[in-house]
Amino acid sequence: MPVFLPVIFPNLPSMIKTFVNISLLCVAIMSFTGCYYDVEDELYPDNNASCDTTAVNFAVVKPIFDAKCVGCHGGASPSAGIKLDTYTDAKVYLDASASRLVSSVKHDGNASNMPQGQPKLDACDISKISAWVSAGYPEN
């Protein structure tokens, strides 16, 4: 920084040069950290303002299960005997172990982390599943 400034502003008094140097350094740092810390999901993992968790029914969680779970928890030989492909199938497991399903997607240590071998679901999907189970996993 001090090396190239005299090239841009050859006649500036040295105090001003120092001030300009520090300002440029601040702007550089702020532009890096600004981009990183503005990731909303990381700042507010459980309080995502754009995540609608009101009136969550099976139609809302089914696309999440279909995309992330049914590959293993569906069909003729589902993993751990847990089927999530239809409402009736999901209800069988939830009636017995609803809290384990929520724990598994939250990775809170009270059940195996799901989806197995894959990254955690995004915060909004976890909030939706959690809200659905808390509401008594309504079908409609």
Q: Answer yes or no whether residue 83 interacts with ligand HEC by CB under 6 A.
A: no
Q: Answer yes or no whether residue 111 interacts with ligand HEC by CB under 6 A.
A: yes
Q: What are phi and psi of 83, to 5 degrees?
A: -110, 130
Query: Applying CB under 6 A, which of residues 34, 63, 71, 75 lies at the interface with ligand HEC?
Result: 71
Reduce the DSSP state of residue 9 to 3 states and report it: coil
Per DSSP, helices labelled H in 87-138 are 87-106, 123-134
Interface mask toward ligand HEC for 50-69; x: CB under 6 A = ------------------xx
Query: Applying CB under 6 A, which of residues 10, 109, 117, 136 lies at the interface with ligand HEC?
Result: 117
How far lies 7's CA from each of 1, 10, 11, 27, 124, in Å? Answer: 11, 6, 9, 20, 51
Query: Applying CB under 6 A, which of residues 51, 56, 61, 105 lies at the interface with ligand HEC?
Result: 105
Q: Answer yes or no whether residue 100 interacts with ligand HEC by CB under 6 A.
A: yes
- Tell me how far apart the alpha carbons of residues 126 and 112 are, in angstroms, rounded to a whole number: 15
Query: Applying CB under 6 A, which of residues 114, 127, 132, 137 lies at the interface with ligand HEC?
Result: 114
Count CB neighbours of 78 within 10 A: 17
- The residues that touch ligand HEC, with contacts defined as CB under 6 A, are 68-69, 71-73, 79-80, 82, 100-101, 104-105, 111-112, 114-117, 121
